[in-house]
Structure 1
Amino acid sequence: MSPLIKKIFRTCGYAIWKIKKSRFKIGRIQYEVDPCSVGKTPQGELTARGAINMIKERQLHDLKILDICCGVGIVGLTIFSELRLDAIVKEAVFADINIFNLNSLHKTIRINNFESLLGDQVRSYLSDGLNHIPQNEKFDLIVSNPPHYFVKDHIKKNKPLSPSRLGTFDAGWDFHKSFYNLCHRYLTKRGEVWFLENSSAADEKDFLPFIEANAQLKYVGKVEELLDSGFFWMVTRKS
């Protein structure tokens, strides 16, 4: 970066050229994350561990999973790395609206020697919800700790809209509405949706109308997350 650009950034109160990528390890995966990425919260590992427990309890196998709103990929990569060798999970697909998240995901895939699996067992999509995922993709399990704080309008909130804020709040429940309106198209015959919701931010009744509005979905029920009582799973399947 040129001295002039550095001076401009200093004047603006930034030191972007000094920001370093961060590395951390969860389970078997070493993550390499850029500063503009979001989704580096403990809920990622909690979601993955809870999902792994439910997969094992139900003795599911040969799963193709979608980690939607994947952030830097903690949920999907944890599940995939721990269950793929037993043929429980055969494919892991990732989707997020944030290009910085997917850039970090691909760096993580590279440093963990998963590059040979790209395009076959591991794929990613830059997508606003399900809207830009090809409809020939069908999943046995869609899992997520989705945006779970309600806000009517980000602009009216009159606070700076950072990537982390955008990833936490679901304005008008638009993500949930759109997801449950479309998700049946992406589920196999046995396909299910497992969303880990935050009980301090929302309740089961907030999302049930969106599920019930889709005649091709069946709500299975609410499952308490034993690893953290502040969270609960909403389980939905294709009807």
Structure 2
Amino acid sequence: MGVLHKIEHGLVRPALRRIRPSKRVVLGGITVDYKSELDGGGIEFGQDFIPFLRSRGMPKQPRLFEWCAGPAFIGFSMLGHELCETLCLADINPAAVNRCKSTVRLNHLEDRVSVYESNNLRNIPKSERWNLVVSNPPHFIDQYEGDIRAHDPDWAIHREFFNTIHPYLADDGVIVLQENNRGSTVETFGEMIDVAGLEIVFTHGDHKEPTRESVFYFIGIMKKGAKVPSWAAKVS
């Protein structure tokens, strides 16, 4: 039974995923090409970025980066809703990268969107500078082992991101992460953000203790000492 299980999950299911036809959804006027197994929630709760950032009065950003982009539901939606001028996308999964490139071709966005296959930020050109970084990254340290959409063992993916983002972030650039209170609290990331020379400038919707059900919250992060734009300032 163990051998059959390995064959099914290691060979049969991946083969079926490769031949399964892709789907399309229109977000902000952009037709996004994707496959269901690549969706980590960006097509659902990830769309909360749009009303949230608009409610804070965020102006259109010159260049946006979506970290752990998957099919880039968030990034393409923000581009379509005119919350950014240009877009940069990256993901470790070549299947997700291929879907992003397909969306770029489908919508003739070659002059506005860059796509990279990258383990965290390791393969991103040093010339990149981002005014805004958004992400719905893996939310769990001890659940969903083997699922790169959800599992971040020992928070290593988050930690590496915080430690390597500095050269890419504009001086007044803001990182906005969407996390899940079922897997973390703001305090979970506080020390690693501080050690990386970053600071939390706002939070929204977070609980101080882990919740039993999924509750999604936002963390706004900048370089230490950076001038915080009005839209990213803490709301009293």
Pick the TM interval, shorter chain. 0.7 to 0.9
Following TM superposition, by how much is the alpha carbon of 1:41 offset from its aligned partner in structure 2, in angstroms? 4.3
Unmatched 5+ stretches in structure 2: 1-7, 207-212, 225-236
Alpha-carbon spacing, 1:211–1:234, altered in 2? closer, same or farther (3 Å)? same
> TM-score if structure 2 supplies the norm length?
0.77
Q: State the match for 2:126 in structure 1.
A: 135
Whether contact under 8 Å (1:194, 1:234) holds in the other structure is yes
Q: State the match for 1:73 in structure 2.
A: 72
Alpha-carbon spacing, 1:182–1:151, altered in 2? closer, same or farther (3 Å)? same
RMSD of aligned Cα (Å): 2.9
Residues 1:236 and 2:235 aligned together: no
Whether contact under 8 Å (1:149, 1:202) holds in the other structure is yes
- The CA distance in 2 between the partners of 1:123 and 1:64, in whole Å, is 10
Residues 1:210 and 2:192 aligned together: yes
Letter in 1 for 2:169: L
Alpha-carbon spacing, 1:152–1:107, altered in 2? closer, same or farther (3 Å)? closer
- The CA distance in 1 between the partners of 2:50 and 2:34, in whole Å, is 23
| Larger Rg, first or second structure (1 or 2) | 1
Q: State the match for 1:25 in structure 2.
A: 25
1:33-182 matched pairs, under 5 angstroms: 33-34=34-35, 38=38, 40-55=39-54, 57-83=56-82, 88-111=83-106, 113-114=107-108, 117-118=109-110, 120-151=111-142, 161=146, 165-182=147-164
Residues 1:186 and 2:163 aligned together: no
Alpha-carbon spacing, 1:19–1:169, altered in 2? closer, same or farther (3 Å)? same
Unmatched 5+ stretches in structure 1: 1-8, 155-160
Following TM superposition, by how much is the alpha carbon of 1:148 offset from its aligned partner in structure 2, in angstroms? 1.1
> TM-score if structure 1 supplies the norm length?
0.76
2:120 aligns to what SS in structure 1? coil
- The CA distance in 2 between the partners of 1:138 and 1:100, in whole Å, is 25
Whether contact under 8 Å (1:21, 1:32) holds in the other structure is no
1:47 aligns to what SS in structure 2? helix
Whether contact under 8 Å (2:40, 2:149) holds in the other structure is no
- Post-superposition Cα deviations, 1:76-128, rounded to whole Å, max 9, x if no partner, equal 00000111xxxx411100000000001111122222x22xx32x320011111
